[in-house]
Chain A
């Protein structure tokens, strides 16, 4: 089946530094990728939606300059948390929607998530 790989799974960074999280669709082309943020025992909050080759669409309240999203190819999207602060510590999950096909349909596939801790 389709697989979405997210890396790193865990990262600790110092306050003020930037950290990049990658989201790759391993065996399919992802026309759209979604980035979510999740707090413990809470739901996934959509941060932004990105389409390959175009600028990401951010949800209201999400700082574009802080959470940089790049969708450079049909198999890779990256989320860069710039000038990270402890309040940015969270679980970040990406997902990818496959290009509609007979085998994959229009399904959303999720990465394993990335724990970010800012100290």
Chain B
């Protein structure tokens, strides 16, 4: 069982549609991060959420941290082909173990 479970695992949508990716855990996190990764490259940090209930917006991307700091979501409005990639949530368990979620592979079809 993974510490951070993401859903859906795969998502294929048409350009212009909206989508939400979820990241859930039974553990409390002091913060969670969202990354986007292209094949063959390292993940790129999109955002860090720290406060329970926090909402952060990054252009068409909206990130939310659950009130109990056990879950987070990523909402993309009007998806574009350039949004295609692997989206990963991640967080520290304790001080020294940084875990990634199970990942969501997004394909946006032009």
Tell me the A residues contacting B by CB distance below 8 Å: 4, 6, 32, 34, 36, 40-46, 49, 51, 57, 91, 93, 95, 97, 107-108, 110-113, 115
Contact = CB atoms under 8 A, between A and B. Distances in A.
Interface string B48-61: 00000000000000
A2 B39 CA distance: 22
Contact of A36 (B10, B33, B86, B100): B100
Given A32-B96, A51-B96, A111 B102 contact: no
Interface of B: 2, 6, 10, 33, 39-45, 86, 88, 96-103, 105
Main DSSP-derived SS at the A contact region = strand
Contacts of B86: 41, 43
Contacts of B40: 91, 113, 115
A93 B103 contact: no
B97 A43 contact: no
30 contacts: A4-B42, A41-B10, A41-B86, A43-B2, A43-B6, A43-B86, A43-B88, A43-B100, A43-B101, A43-B102, A44-B43, A44-B100, A46-B98, A46-B99, A49-B96, A49-B98, A51-B96, A91-B40, A93-B42, A93-B43, A95-B98, A97-B98, A107-B45, A108-B33, A108-B98, A112-B41, A112-B42, A113-B40, A113-B41, A113-B42
B107 to A, nearest CB: 10
Contacts of B102: 43
A48 B13 CA distance: 36
Given A43-B88, A44-B88, A57 B96 contact: yes
A44 B43 CA distance: 9
A117 B51 CA distance: 42
Main DSSP-derived SS at the B contact region = strand
A43 to B, nearest CB: 4
A83 to B, nearest CB: 26
